[in-house]
């Protein structure tokens, strides 16, 4: 991922986090704005990278969770997403990215308990996460 793309990551997640909070607090229009920002965010990354790339996968999964959480029985998903995006902004730790890295097409080694522990418990570091 280019340095220019890295610079756009934090603002997208910051705006998404604020709009997600607004959605959870019932602010009018927040959900529509959040969906719009998420679509723009995803399309931006898909246009500049391979649609199958890891960053695109994270954004697609986030968008799917966002849509699922719009159904009232699944609203708790949005609270989990709020915690996750806040953690991403504050610490650069993204649990969603780490879980997506464990999918078969994103790893080179067999899935094991040790790999899952390493993926979930390793401290954040600069650059994209890999679960090798």
Domain ranges of the chain: 3-93
Report long-range pairs for 114-123 (Cβ below 8 Å, ≥24 apart): 120/95, 123/93
- Give the pLDDT of residue 127: 62
Which tokens hold the place of 58?
């994270």
Predicted pLDDT of residue 10:
86
Average pLDDT along the chain, 132 residues, taken 10 residues at a time: 70 95 95 96 85 87 96 96 94 92 91 92 74 62
* Residues 74, 81 contacting (CB under 8 angstroms): no
Per-residue model confidence (pLDDT) at position 132: 60
User: What burial class does residue 63 get, using C-beta atoms within 10 Å of its C-beta: 0-12 exposed, 13-18 middle, 19+ buried?
Assistant: middle
pTM, 2 dp: 0.86
Please count the residues of the chain: 132
pLDDT (0 to 100) of residue 130: 66
């Amino acid at each position: 991922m280019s340095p220019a793309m890295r610079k756009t990551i934090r603002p997208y997640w910051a705006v998404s986090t604020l709009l997600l909070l607004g959605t959870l607090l019932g602010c009018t229009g927040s959900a529509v704005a959040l969906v719009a920002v998420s679509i723009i965010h995803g399309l931006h990354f898909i246009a500049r990278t391979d649609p199958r790339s890891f960053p695109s996968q994270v954004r697609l999964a986030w968008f799917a969770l966002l849509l699922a959480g719009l159904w009232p029985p699944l609203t708790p998903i949005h609270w989990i997403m709020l915690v996750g995006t806040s953690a991403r902004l504050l610490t650069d730790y993204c649990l969603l990215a780490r879980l997506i890295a464990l999918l078969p097409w994103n790893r080179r080694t067999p899935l094991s308990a040790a790999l899952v522990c390493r993926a979930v418990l390793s401290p954040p570091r600069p650059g994209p996460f890999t679960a090798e």
